[in-house]
Copies of this chain bind each other. A is one copy, B any other.
Amino acid sequence: MIKCTKCNEVSGIARAGQVRGKQRYHCKHCNYYFTFQSPPPGKKSSPAHHATILDIAHKLKISKSTVSRALRNSADINQETRDAVLKMAQELNYVPNYFASSLVRRKSYSIGIVVPELITNFFSQFIIIAQKAASLAGYEVVICHSNESFSNEVDVLKRLFAYQVDGVLLSLSSETKSLDHLQVYSDAGVPVVLFNRVKNKPGFPTVLADDYHGAFIGTEHLVKNGYRNIGHIGGPGNLQISKNRFRGYRDALTKHGLEYNPNWTIYHDLSQADACKCAKTLLDKSSRPDAVFAVNDPAAIYLIIEAKKRGLHVGPDLGIVGFSNDSRSEVIEPSLTTLQQPIEQMAETCIHLLLNKIKDDRFAIPPTTVLKTTLIERCSSKKEGARGKEFKSLIV
């Protein structure tokens, strides 16, 4: 039997809709509405009242405007008042409510970073540095990863948008073919900077390593070391980065009068499984290249492994150059010659450009920023005299 929580009457109680699953009742003795939950839910988890600026104001008998001013260290405030407020805030363990502040200021003071994966160390390192730079400027960072899937990318971007991030740093998934899903961001005036895995489109500035030049000098390095039949493991065709690296590879061949053999170029989708498959495909060919420039280190690493399985001597029999200096590249045997991207510089540039744009909409981000890549020579690209020397060359 249900009793009115106000007048304690049992009769005359009517059901009156429901809210959040709970039934509501109406007592017509005292004309009172109430909901009823069978077990009074125990010691209700008391929300541990955080101190607010009003608490400080009351204690100090001043207005909350003044407290706010003192806390934000703004002008128009007496030094003594400010000190008193600061002291009281300390005493009460005051923590500013980020949501209230963001709500009224219409800024979240956070930026989103979306990366396609987190398992190679390029992106983890990027994130570490970007986060440090952002937090120095007072910005929070929300990290998301698309897992190389376009639909995931769309999802996380939607979530970030609802999160009201002030800007986004984005590196595209291998499946992404257009930037249409970024429309909401440009409509809302939220700046987006693409990095590393980019796609050119007006309104979306990019920051990237000089993939063309890196591929060029990587391939040229193989030529100089005496390889003549140089193949290529490329990335997904829809990514700028794949195209640029391919162009660099091909132009290096051309420059040195070597013929480009399309039969020696195969493409992989940046997944690990496919990297293994590509290595096999390439080595299965009846006429195989004597060197390979790979679009990234994982592809090169699995090529080394596969070649060793088949008894080939990587270096003398098969020269290999990778791209991006994976953590495994210096410990694998032979160690992998690769191209080092300027991760730190890239991350800092991204944050710098993005924050400038956020702070002043009139700031114009340059459409593309290209950063230098450098060749790290190791053993996988040594045709002569490499055998037995591998140990010494490890960088430790």
Contacts and interface: CB of A to CB of B under 8 A. Distances in A.
A42 interface: yes
B76 A189 contact: no
Nearest to A392: B309
B308 A19 contact: no
Chain A interface mostly helix, strand, loop or mixed?
A: mixed
A45 interface: yes
A80 to B, nearest CB: 17
A302 B396 contact: yes
Nearest to A310: B391
Given A98-B164, A305-B331, A305-B396, A142 B145 contact: no
A306 interface: yes
Contacts of A19: 74-76
Nearest to A333: B333
Contacts of A125: 118-119
Nearest to A161: B95
A76 B125 CA distance: 50
A297 to B, nearest CB: 11
Contact of A164 (B76, B97, B188, B308): B97
A231 B37 CA distance: 63
Contacts of A48: 187-189
A344 interface: no
Integer count of this chain's copies in the complex: 2
A308 B391 contact: yes
A192 to B, nearest CB: 14
B18 A75 contact: yes
A163 interface: yes
A125 B117 CA distance: 10
A184 interface: yes
A159 interface: yes
A127 interface: yes
A93 interface: yes
B47 A106 contact: yes
Interface in A172-219: 184, 187-189
Contacts of A309: 391-392, 394, 396
A145 B128 contact: yes
A233 interface: no
A233 to B, nearest CB: 16
A42 B46 CA distance: 49
A3 B76 CA distance: 23
A225 interface: no
Contact of A119 (B20, B50, B327, B392): B327
Contacts of A333: 332-333
A56 to B, nearest CB: 16
A361 interface: yes
A364 interface: no
Contact of A128 (B17, B118, B142, B392): B118
Contact of A97 (B103, B127, B394): B103
Contacts of A50: 188
A386 interface: no
Given A118-B118, A327-B327, 17 more contacts: A18-B76, A42-B362, A45-B362, A48-B189, A93-B184, A95-B162, A96-B162, A98-B163, A98-B164, A118-B128, A128-B147, A141-B143, A142-B142, A301-B331, A309-B391, A331-B332, A333-B333
10 contacts: A17-B75, A19-B75, A21-B75, A42-B362, A95-B161, A99-B103, A118-B124, A128-B145, A131-B144, A327-B328
